[in-house]
Amino acid sequence: MPAPTRTVSYHERIAELLTQMADQVTLLQTRVTVTRLVARDTSQWVDDDARSLDLIVDDVLNEWRQHKAGDADPAALDGLWNRYASRVEWASPDSGHEYRSEFCPADEKQPFDSDGYFRAVWAAHLDGLRQAANGVQSGA
């Protein structure tokens, strides 16, 4: 004889739904916080393009999910965002350079265009995110 199945009471189901909704609210609050940080620091470099901002936000949130066990503290998210942006914008510490050389003029006599530099590093980063997203969508 099969084991009797336990029926979930109305109150248990409501409690389960409330927990799910609280988790969704937390995720939305986290997304809003990350979106504010990303928009504040990258809008000018990606021409305030909403799709580009969303790609960056999604990538930051994926990193947050991998490294944080649900801690959506704004200070923790700000720290995560700052580390993320630094990896994109600046040369690795072991390179001995401040700027990423692949985005600097080859001829050191040319003036350094900081706006062009930041636009280029974020454009390259977004290209990588788009390629990764297309690879996932195509099943590659």
Per-residue pLDDT of the chain (140 residues; tens, 9 = 90+): 666 667 779 899 999 999 999 989 988 999 999 999 999 999 999 998 999 999 999 999 999 888 765 567 888 899 999 999 999 999 999 988 899 999 998 888 889 999 999 999 999 999 999 999 888 666 65
pLDDT of residue 139: 61
pLDDT at 4: 66
> Terminus-to-terminus CA distance in the chain, angstroms?
47
pTM here is 0.80
Which string of DSSP letters, residue by residue, matches 16-56?
HHHHHHHHHHHHHHHHHHHHHHHHHHHTTTTTT-HHHHHHH
The DSSP output letter for 97 is -
Q: What pLDDT does residue 70 have? A: 58
Check residue 47 and give its pLDDT. Answer: 92
Could you give the residue ranges of the DSSP H alpha helices within 43-113? 50-67, 74-89
